[in-house]
Chains A and B, each alone.
Chain A
């Protein structure tokens, strides 16, 4: 069986190239027995989504949440 280093490498590679049938089968078998790698496999895709979102609208979300209403100025 592949070890986790090899399995995560293939999962990472899958973002850049199409894996072979054999590689995909090997990952499936590995992940049946390894929750860590199963989670990694999802997170590799999450990272891509997060990065894309960050590049596209990095400031929109910040503007929304950090916006504070102006304090009315008290003038005596």
Chain B
């Protein structure tokens, strides 16, 4: 009896067309996309729509993807385009007269002393082989955790800038802040992110 394997139970990689009909894979993918979209758009309903459209778009070309990872990367690429479109559309409706103050939670991380010099423990160390780290799956989990740890506005503008590669003007208009506020947020995001990565990843390779 053990030799009989039903076609549906074959322990081989499913054919590409099945990836998006695999409920567990789809649910997981949807959840990740939604999280990404909500972070970018700060609007649950628009995020839901963007994710839905990206998935529908992906279904049309699903047969050309052999591996789940490649399909996922591609679905995210579609999603990013949708988000960029939405953000560009939004900026036409921006109320230009008002520029919000930065909330307290978006503060500078306490890495500098009162004179503005590094605290001993927070002074950046040299990272050993940062490029090699990025072939390690565990590194990406650390990176994701650090990213989620950023205050929301810092996380959002960092992703707009470094993931979607919008320029300063586009970001300022879509989230309604001044260029100088944007640069302050990006500075803080980078200070936090590098500290987090150094603490949870690069410290292990530290030679000192």
Residues in A lying within 8 Å of B, measured CB to CB: 3-6, 8-9, 12-13, 15-17, 34-37, 39-40, 42-44, 46-66, 70, 73, 75-76
Q: Is B164 an interface residue (CB 8 A)?
A: yes
User: What's the count of A-B pairs with C-beta under 8 Å?
Assistant: 126
CB atoms of A39 and B130 under 8 A apart: no
Q: A47-B194, A59-B73 are in contact. Are A52 and B163 (CB under 8 A)?
A: yes
| Chain A residues within 8 Å of B130, by CB | 43, 46, 49-50
| Chain A residues within 8 Å of B163, by CB | 51-52, 54-55
Q: A4-B118, A17-B168, A36-B118 are in contact. Are A62 and B69 (CB under 8 A)?
A: yes
Min CB–CB distance B102 → chain A (angstroms): 14
Min CB–CB distance B70 → chain A (angstroms): 7
Min CB–CB distance A60 → chain B (angstroms): 5
Q: Which residue of A lies closest to B191 (CB)?
A: A8
Q: How far, in angstroms, from A73 to B162 measured CA to CA in the complex?
A: 45
